Structure 1
């Protein structure tokens, strides 16, 4: 579940305090008692890399759409009423930053900034250097604790009381930070590098799978296929669509939904972190403008392909995601969605259940779009 702070400035104050207290407290009261000067300098270098990457993650804008951006016919048109411009693919309007963010991953309370296309490498490097530094420190602390325990029969005045106090306080605190940041780092690697997705897109994939399990996804996919690719509506494809609708329980989710921006982990890493030689460089950034992204072969559209392949080529997310229920009247629902910058209103039969409205859906972590910082009113 996303952390929401009563006073946003605490999002910067708490990490700053922890980095300073753990890093400099451990160096002055513990490491300086037994480490060589060269090893102390290496520790300080690692600590400095945390500060540099943290500063860049805070002050680097996550990315804004290009002026006068116009969407391709092959993506869903998504007009932001607050910015008075179209949002590129994979972009969302952040309610905290008050801007549309390119390839928005989430709004991070610990940087008071969105994590998106432009600063994702800085954010990941920040997590990486925290893990490296806390791992080194924890190993040194365990080593020192073992040494003191072996010498426990010696007189107590041979060891500084301040060292014993800080070992007692900082060892569990350092391990806690290491564990929590490692979990977040692994989640980011799994989403962005392994699967090529932002956290919001992973959330959307879970939502789509939930829709598929409830039997509500396939009708939306077929409806969107005729809408996006009207030339593909042949008699054969219509018969195939009828089969999918009547046998929807047999259709596998991965046969109908594919994430178009996922390649292999190495390619994903280069796309979102930049060239390999720059992964640890503090100012390394990805190539491209963040307004459009390459798509894999599965997402390529061919009119004579089987219906399942055409469905796989739908723009992301394939259910369209622009429909939002705003009021109910008996058994009907009034819906609004954006099309070409115009507000379209229509009525349809009401759906029941949490997966009927995208903005109100929660994943297994208890997260909704709002928890990622997305301005759901602009979706």
Structure 2
């Protein structure tokens, strides 16, 4: 489960203490005296590799969209808009509330590197995880060997030259700590590799669970996740590049972080995740809600903020077709919560209790004005909508009426 730390400096301090303590502490107090030379050299190589991969995971930026961005026709169809950057947001990009910028192919903001895991540093992050698991497993194995020796020598006097009090204390401390590191980092490594085999990010696993729940309840039409190319090997190649580059410390994933291969079942003209039924589509937000800031309609081209007008019209038509069926579909969750708030991206929790903001995403940059602000507000006359409670009648399946309290805003 991903959680952001209240004190961000701990995200760097704790890994540094663990790497230095387990790696160098076990070397100084235990291994230097008892390990064979070849095993000691291997241990020190592991420690240096962990330090190198950690520094790269911390220092290499995840990658941000170029500003200004001029999308081609296909990219414009599936791009969205960032309210914080006031700019086009490519597919799979998100605005990080900690880094305060849009991140290409954002996986999550890692508190232990104080850096986002994105397009450019994904391989560095994976190398760090694998090096920690492999290196710490080697330390744990050697420590278990010393535990066995110490147990067999438990009746010997403490002043024996082969057994010292600092070694006993170091063994007692580092053995459970190294196991804890293997267990926790190992779980994260398994989860990350599993996601890579499906070509999905941590944020997208959260989105898929939320979208699938809405599809089951009829709030959204069936939609395929577009980036799963079928097999684990194909997905790994798409996410990480050729196999020979995976272990080279200076390599990065292929591509520009804005264009991605999709499967045959995906709609190439529809962004993912799909917009919620009660969200204003991005083209309406750009055109009507923020004309002084980002709406630069040309009288000759009819484009808005880099989006060619024909693709706005196509997306508007698709949105209208989908929206026609929403008011006749029952969409209440099991706990009778208001569906317009239960499924909202800033409210919904996964089965693990994770919220979108737990991954570092700036939720305010991801949301547009709600449809519940009234139809007049959607049409662009939002300044005249007073504060208060608007009663809306929704007709469900079989004529059932659902009465919802929807708070209006200026």
Name the TM tier (shorter chain): 0.7 to 0.9
Q: Separation in 1 of the partners of 2:72 and 2:110?
A: 27
Counterparts in 2 of 1:40 and 1:194: CA distance versus 1, 3 Å: same
Deviation digits for residues 125-161 of structure 1 (CA, Å, limit 9, x no counterpart):
1110000111000000111111222233433322111
Pairwise CA RMSD of aligned residues? 2.4
Alignment-derived partner of residue 350 in structure 2? 363
Q: Separation in 2 of the partners of 1:82 and 1:316?
A: 20
Q: Separation in 2 of the partners of 1:265 and 1:213?
A: 26
1:257 equivalenced with 2:197 (yes/no)? no
1:160 to 154, 161, 164: 164
Counterparts in 2 of 1:183 and 1:149: CA distance versus 1, 3 Å: same
Alignment-derived partner of residue 3 in structure 2? 3
Counterparts in 2 of 1:340 and 1:204: CA distance versus 1, 3 Å: same
Alignment-derived partner of residue 389 in structure 2? none
Conserved 8 A contact 1:58-1:113: yes
Q: Separation in 1 of the partners of 2:107 and 2:166?
A: 42
TM-score w.r.t. length of structure 2: 0.72
2:139 to 130, 137, 148: 137
Conserved 8 A contact 1:272-1:286: yes
Counterparts in 2 of 1:11 and 1:290: CA distance versus 1, 3 Å: same
1:188 equivalenced with 2:155 (yes/no)? no
Conserved 8 A contact 2:275-2:281: no
SS at match of 2:159: helix
Q: Separation in 1 of the partners of 2:60 and 2:285?
A: 30
Q: CA deviation at 1:62?
A: 0.6
Alignment-derived partner of residue 25 in structure 1? 25
1:373 equivalenced with 2:328 (yes/no)? no
Q: Separation in 1 of the partners of 2:176 and 2:97?
A: 36
Q: CA deviation at 1:377?
A: 1.2
1:338 equivalenced with 2:282 (yes/no)? yes
Q: What is the correspondence of 1:1-379 to structure 2 with a 5 Å cutoff?
A: 1-67=1-67, 68-70=69-71, 72-73=73-74, 75-158=77-160, 159-191=163-195, 193-218=196-221, 256-263=222-229, 264-299=231-266, 314-317=270-273, 319-321=274-276, 335-339=279-283, 342-344=286-288, 352-353=338-339, 354-379=341-366
Q: Separation in 2 of the partners of 1:11 and 1:64?
A: 22
Q: CA deviation at 1:49?
A: 1.0
Q: CA deviation at 1:84?
A: 2.6
Q: CA deviation at 1:73?
A: 4.4
Q: CA deviation at 1:48?
A: 0.9
Alignment-derived partner of residue 329 in structure 1? none
Q: CA deviation at 1:314?
A: 4.3
Deviation digits for residues 10-46 of structure 1 (CA, Å, limit 9, x no counterpart):
1111111111111111111111121122221211111
Q: Separation in 2 of the partners of 1:184 and 1:29?
A: 30
Q: CA deviation at 1:343?
A: 4.9
Q: Separation in 2 of the partners of 1:176 and 1:356?
A: 36
Conserved 8 A contact 2:105-2:257: yes
Q: CA deviation at 1:300?
A: 5.9
Conserved 8 A contact 1:270-1:286: no
Counterparts in 2 of 1:270 and 1:56: CA distance versus 1, 3 Å: same
TM-score w.r.t. length of structure 1: 0.78
SS at match of 2:233: helix
Q: Separation in 2 of the partners of 1:46 and 1:340?
A: 54
Counterparts in 2 of 1:342 and 1:168: CA distance versus 1, 3 Å: same
SS at match of 1:288: coil
Conserved 8 A contact 1:206-1:363: yes
After the TM superposition, which of the residue ranges 151-160 and 95-104 deviates more from structure 2? Answer: 151-160
The number of equivalent residue pairs is 318
Conserved 8 A contact 2:53-2:125: yes
Q: Separation in 2 of the partners of 1:89 and 1:186?
A: 25
User: What 5-or-longer segments of structure 1 have no aligned partner?
Assistant: 219-255, 302-312, 326-334
